[in-house]
Amino acid sequence: MDPALKLQIAHDTATALVARVRDEGTVDIVQRLLEYTREYGVGEIAELWASAPAHSLPGALWRLYVVHASIVNDPDTAAHAYQRGVTDMNTIDEVVAGARQPTGPEDIRELADEILRGAFVGELSDALERAAAYCRIEAHGVTTLVAGTEIGTSALLERAVTLADFALDLHACSVLARANKLN
């Protein structure tokens, strides 16, 4: 597919999805979207969004869905790393992310749903900032866990680096969304 057309489709689908859910804005629609995402993922749409620039609406949505999927697919590791990050960090990120403390697997799944839901029915910039805070905490927690073990360190370190990069990108998208410039 022509890269320009692929990018245009990524932007169009992201804009249409956000606009449709915001316009109809019912709890039922958002819940169905979350359940569909949890069960089936976003498949081809995510592939389109994955190639979009990091600081764009489709780039932000792709990062939100990847973070959501990583939590849903392994809530035990996500909760453990998150809790470790909260314990070791002394920042406002814990408050911004908003997970219940102490954080267990069900709490972290709930946080993932809240953040994704907020991207569609709340203030998009706030949802993106919450996701960025979550990623910073999780990245720190994963790094701390890696420091204490010799097992599976390369995969865990890759996860920490990805989360740290996502945190920067999601924060930048939040700033753009707040200025009405995220497209």
Given a cut of 70, whether residue 150 has pLDDT beyond it is no
Q: Where are the domains of the chain?
A: 3-178
Residue 55's closest CA among 176, 163, 162?
176
Q: What confidence tens digit (pLDDT) does each residue in 83-115 have?
A: 999 999 989 999 999 998 999 999 999 999 899
**Residue 142, exposed/middle/buried by CB under 10 A (0-12, 13-18, 19+)?**
buried
Query: In the predicted model, what is the mean pLDDT of residues 52-80?
Result: 94
Question: Considering Cα of 145, then 66, then 119, then 3, what sign does the dihedral take?
Answer: positive
Query: What is the value of pTM for the model shown?
Result: 0.89
